[in-house]
Structures are given as structure tokens and as C-alpha cells.
């Protein structure tokens, strides 16, 4: 069986060491390289072509967000798991915008890293449960205080289905095939969803899905 090839990017040697230890314990995972900063991570991703890059969001020279953007734009087949200390929406959204598929809190790296790597290697998203909880809490609190309606309740069952599939990373065409619909219909549903939820772009859509626990 082909092992999942992993590139570790973190400016702290201690953390890299810990992560490597975790990864090497898995039979189907292997660390192919370690980068000390964002620039190095971009260069190594280009030359090593790993399956997954596990990257710290804040690094010197080129921060994780910028590095992830460059990597995913140049090599769409590489999946990025962002490591962060922050469970705040701003960071999650920024990571999503940079093309990262997974968002992992450093606190829970030890227990969730393996799951995250497997998920993103499989083309799925992964978010630390703590992140989903914070996002949901913020959302609920805001709704409660403003007295507004949960926009999710406005969605039709079909729209919810499409929201989930898109958030999981499927293209319009994939969704159309799965649901036996025309691409045009999917397109229409999708824009309705975006409008009802007041979302701008896929990253916000994914964030919403994570918040509502539609994906993890």
C-alpha cells in the first residue's frame, strides 16, 4: 500500500519533533521533509510533491497562510492541514481562503493529527472539534442576542444536501452526478444557498458548514 507522504512545516523544532513522532507511529504515514519557515515549505512542496502538508499558520519569512496559498495554487493535488493556536473564525476563514482543507488546533494535534491527515488525503475537510464548537457558540450567541432567525432554517432539504456536498469539497459536476440533477440546477441551488446564508465564496460556505456541524 502506498504510504501517505507528509511534509511538516513549523518554525519550532520541538513541535516538528513531536509531530514526526506521532506520524511515524502510523504504518501508512511517512514524513518526507521538514521545513523551518514558509518559504522553505513552498520550495519543498514543489520539489517533494507530498500528499499532505502539515503547516503552522504563523511562521517567519512567509507565514503559513501565504505559503498554503502558494502551494495549493501551484499544486492543487496537495492538501494542506493548518496548525494553529487560535480557534477564532478569522483564522479559520483565512486558512480556508488560502486553500487549506484541514484546520487543527495545536492543543489537540496529538489526538487529531492522524485523523486530519487521513481525512484531507482522502479529499475531505477536517476541523478540530474545539474549532467547530467555538464557531457554533459564536453563531448561536449572535443569533440569540440579535434575535435574528437562523438562516439555516430557511434552506430547503435539497439545498442543505447541496450545501453539505459543496462544503465537503465536491464540484458542481460531482454534485450533479450524485443527485441526478443537471449542473445548471445545482448552480441555481448553490447560488440560492449562498444568498440565503449571506455568504461570499466557498471558504465562507465551508466555515458555515463547520459551524453548523454539517461537516467536521
Partner 1 sequence: MHASAKDTAPAPLSSGHDSQSKERARKVRALLFLSFGWLLALLIGAGTDALLSLRQLDTVERQVSSRFSARSQALSTIVVSVRVYDDQLERFLLQDQLRAPSPDPSDIANKIAEIRDALRGFPSDQFPEEQLLLAEMQNLLLDQENSVATVLTWRPDARQQRAQQFIGEQLLPWRTHILEISQQISTVDGKRLADENLALALRFQSMEERLVWLVALALIAGVLMSLVCGWYILRLERQGRQRYQALARSRLELESLSARLVEAQEEERRSISRELHDEVGQSLGALLVEVGQLTKLVPPEDRVTQAQITHIKSVAETAVKSIRDIALLLRPPMLDDLGLVPALEWQAREISRRSDMEVEVQSQNVSEELGDETKVTIYRLVQEALNNAATHASAKNAKVTALQGPDKITVEITDDGDGFDPERKRGMGILGMEERVRRLGGSLTIQSAPGKGATVTAELPLHLVDSPVNHP
Contacts with partner 1 by CB under 8 A lie at: 11-12, 14-15, 17-19, 21-22, 38, 56-63, 65, 85-86, 88-91, 93-94, 106-107, 109-111, 137-138, 141-142, 145-146
Q: What is the grid cell recorded at 172? A: 458542481
Burial 150-165 (b: 16+ CB within 10 A, else e): ebbeebeeebeebbeb
Q: Min. distance of Cβ 139 from partner 1 in angstroms?
A: 10
Nearest residue to 64 (alpha-carbon basis) of 108, 111, 12, 107? 12
Closer CB to partner 1, 19 or 100, in the complex: 19
Q: How far is the CB of 138 from partner 1 (least distance, A)?
A: 6
Contact indicator for 84, 57 with CB cutoff of 8 Å: yes
Q: Which conformational region is residue 82 in: left (phi greater than 0), alpha (psi within -120 to 50 degrees), or beta?
A: beta
Of residues 49 and 141, the one with the C-beta less far from partner 1: 141
CB-based burial, 47-66: b 16+ in 10 Å, e otherwise: eeebbbbbbbbebeebbbbe
CA 41, CA 45: separation in Å to the nearest integer? 6
Closer of 15 and 214 to partner 1 (Cβ): 15
Nearer to partner 1, 63 or 172 (CB): 63
The minimum distance between CB 94 and partner 1, in angstroms, equals 5
| Closer residue to partner 1 in complex, CB, 33/38 | 38
Compute the least distance from the CB of residue 116 to partner 1, in Å: 14
Q: Which residues pair with 54 in a beta bridge?
A: 8, 81
> In the bound complex, what is the minimum distance in angstroms from residue 56's beta carbon to partner 1?
8
Closest CA to 79 of 102, 62, 56, 59: 102
Q: For residue 56, what are the contacts with CB-CB under 8 A and spacing of at least 6?
A: 9, 10, 11, 12, 15, 64, 83, 84
Query: In terms of CB distance, is 89 or 187 closer to partner 1?
Result: 89
Closest approach, Cβ 92 to partner 1, in A, equals 10
Amino acid at each position: 500500500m502506498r504510504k501517505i507522504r507528509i511534509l511538516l512545516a513549523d518554525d519550532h523544532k520541538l513541535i516538528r519533533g513531536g509531530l514526526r513522532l506521532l506520524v511515524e507511529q502510523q504504518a501508512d504515514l511517512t514524513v518526507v521533509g521538514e521545513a523551518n519557515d514558509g518559504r522553505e515549505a513552498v520550495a519543498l512542496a514543489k520539489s517533494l510533491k507530498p500528499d499532505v502538508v502539515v503547516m503552522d499558520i504563523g511562521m517567519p519569512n512567509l507565514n503559513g497562510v501565504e505559503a498554503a496559498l502558494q502551494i495549493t495554487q501551484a499544486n492543487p493535488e496537495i492538501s494542506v492541514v493548518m496548525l494553529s493556536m487560535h480557534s477564532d473564525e478569522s483564522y479559520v476563514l483565512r486558512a480556508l481562503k488560502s486553500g487549506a482543507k484541514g484546520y487543527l488546533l495545536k492543543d489537540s494535534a496529538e489526538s487529531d493529527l492522524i485523523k486530519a491527515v487521513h481525512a484531507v488525503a482522502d479529499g475531505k475537510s477536517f476541523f478540530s472539534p474545539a474549532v467547530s464548537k467555538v464557531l457554533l457558540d459564536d453563531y448561536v450567541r449572535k443569533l440569540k442576542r440579535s434575535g435574528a432567525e437562523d438562516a439555516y432554517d430557511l434552506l430547503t432539504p435539497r439545498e442543505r444536501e447541496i450545501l453539505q456536498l459543496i462544503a465537503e469539497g465536491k464540484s458542481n459536476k460531482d454534485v450533479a452526478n450524485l443527485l441526478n440533477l443537471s449542473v445548471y440546477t445545482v448552480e441555481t441551488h448553490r447560488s440560492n444557498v449562498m444568498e440565503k446564508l449571506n455568504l461570499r465564496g466557498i471558504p465562507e460556505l465551508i466555515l458555515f458548514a463547520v459551524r453548523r456541524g454539517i461537516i467536521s
